[in-house]
Amino acid sequence: MKVKLENISKTYFSLRGKVKALSEINLEIRDREFLVILGPSGCGKTTLLNLIAGIEKPSSGEIYFGEKLVFSDKKNVFVSPKERNIAMVFQNYALYPHMSVFENIAFPLRIQKMDKNIIKKEVEKVAEMLNIKGLLQARPYELSGGEKQRVAIARALVRKPNLFLLDEPLSNLDAQLRLTARTELKTLQKNLKITTIYVTHDQIEAMSLGERIVVMNKGKIEQIGTPEEVYHKPENLFVAKFIGTTPINFFVVEVKSEQSNIYGYLGELKIEVPEEKLHLVKDQKIGIGIRPEDIKTEVEKEDFILTVKVNIIESLGKEYLLHTTYKNYDIKILTKNKFPEKSLIKAGFSKKNLYFFSPE
């Protein structure tokens, strides 16, 4: 089922005063798509899921499930959560502590007053799928974080929902378990072919799971795109900083025109500003970004080569993150090579890896 949000806004009125949690969200989720919502804490991710699920009402806008209008403030339409047939997995799993795993998973079917034998069959089927058949008689307190998470997913899926909503379901798991859970979830979604919206603030998780990623900030959408698009073609500095293993290097530099070209001056480096980026120049300045992984320490035919001073070295296991300086610019470099601290080294990068942004 496809889902469409049109001009969705949500304002909370609380003791703190007015909080604008979402403003003017326009988004279309394709049928069977795995869509990831990515953004920092407080940007409105959970609010967005709650509005889609019908747990809360938008302040304005319209929501469609397929062709069906499920919310409109103007037309006074509100389809209740029960009628939306959505499955949601909450961050804290929200299992019923006094019920066995079997009863937790069976709960949504019991509410539907389904036949006892069918319930047993359906619960066993979904438990098999999630590899928790051996746990059906256990109580939630006996389970590890990873097992609880599987039970929560099983309970969400047992009803065969139209839409699967997941709110940071892996954030309580250790790194190893997250990795396996991620792969399993992706396979599961492929097999079940259920349209899925997955919320996370972890960009690596977003990149590995999402067919498309929606990058959010302060209640607004900054960019929608495939993992490749948000990485290689970030539309603004926020997206460029948020995506990538280590944050992008960002410099504000002076621009000068020379003959018919415009150049940005990073110390002694003279960087031509492409014509289609000239609109970003403001008060004779422009922002230039380069990712730490795009700066090479074995320089060959890079367009720009400079000498940097290595100040601090962080070991990341397979690689090192060098904190270096060039003139008064701090430059981070990701490299496989180890250098002594305080040494001067050559570093280089290519024109094609540069990003241009507005200077502010």
Ligand X SMILES: Nc1ncnc2c1ncn2[C@@H]1O[C@H](COP(=O)(O)OP(=O)(O)OP(=O)(O)O)[C@@H](O)[C@H]1O
Mention every residue, 6+ apart, whose C-beta is less than 8 A from residue 63. 3, 4, 5, 6, 8, 51, 52, 69, 70, 71, 72
Q: Is 43 in the site for ligand X (CB under 6 A)?
A: yes
Selected from 12, 78, 90, 329, the binder of ligand X by CB under 6 A is 12
Q: Is 107 in the site for ligand X (CB under 6 A)?
A: no
Mention every residue, 6+ apart, whose C-beta is less than 8 A from residue 255. 262, 263, 264, 265, 273, 281, 284, 285, 286
Residue 53 C-beta: closest distance to ligand X, Å: 13
Q: Which stretch binds Mg ion (CB under 5 A): 39-47, 258-266, 306-314, 333-341?
A: 39-47
Residue 288 C-beta: closest distance to ligand X, Å: 30
Place of tokens 């709650």: 50
Residue 40 C-beta: closest distance to ligand X, Å: 7
Q: Is 46 in the site for ligand X (CB under 6 A)?
A: yes
Specify the DSSP class assigned to residue 273. Answer: P
Residue 350's Cα: distance from chain center in Å?
28
Q: CB under 5 to 8 A by kind: which of ligand X, Mg ion, none does 12 bind?
A: ligand X
Q: Both tokens of residue 350?
A: 């290519």
Per-residue binding string, ligand X, 194-223, x by CB under 6 A, is: -------x----------------------
Selected from 34, 38, 45, 281, the binder of ligand X by CB under 6 A is 45
Q: Is 149 in the site for ligand X (CB under 6 A)?
A: no
Residue 335 C-beta: closest distance to ligand X, Å: 32
| 126: nearest Cα among 211, 192, 51 | 192
Per-residue binding string, ligand X, 62-101, x by CB under 6 A, is: ----------------------------------------
Q: Which stretch binds ligand X (CB under 6 A): 34-42, 78-86, 103-111, 323-331?
A: 34-42
User: Which whole-number Å values give the CA distances from 143 to 95, 136, 157, in the listed order?
Assistant: 11, 11, 19
Mention every residue, 6+ apart, whose C-beta is less than 8 A from residue 249. 289, 290, 291, 292, 295, 330, 331, 332
47 versus 189: smaller Cβ distance to ligand X: 47
24 versus 298: smaller Cβ distance to ligand X: 24
How do 34-38 and 77-78 pair as beta strands? unpaired
Q: Is 41 in the site for ligand X (CB under 6 A)?
A: yes
Residue nearest to Mg ion (CB): 46
The residues in 220-279 that bind ligand X, with binding defined as CB under 6 A, are none
Q: Is 46 in the site for Mg ion (CB under 5 A)?
A: yes
Residue 171 C-beta: closest distance to ligand X, Å: 9
Q: Is 158 in the site for ligand X (CB under 6 A)?
A: no
Decide: 272 and 261 in contact? Cβ < 8 Å.
yes
Element (H, E) at 8: strand 3-14
Q: CB under 5 to 8 A by kind: which of Mg ion, ligand X, none does 47 bind?
A: ligand X
Decide: 288 and 354 in contact? Cβ < 8 Å.
yes
| 192: nearest Cα among 152, 153, 148, 227 | 153
Mention every residue, 6+ apart, whose C-beta is less than 8 A from residue 30. 2, 195
Q: CB under 5 to 8 A by kind: which of Mg ion, ligand X, none does 42 bind?
A: ligand X
Specify the DSSP class assigned to residue 96. Answer: -
Place of tokens 């047992």: 158
Selected from 2, 42, 73, 81, the binder of ligand X by CB under 6 A is 42
Interacting residues with Mg ion (CB under 5 A): 46
Interacting residues with ligand X (CB under 6 A): 12, 14, 19, 21, 39, 41-47, 201
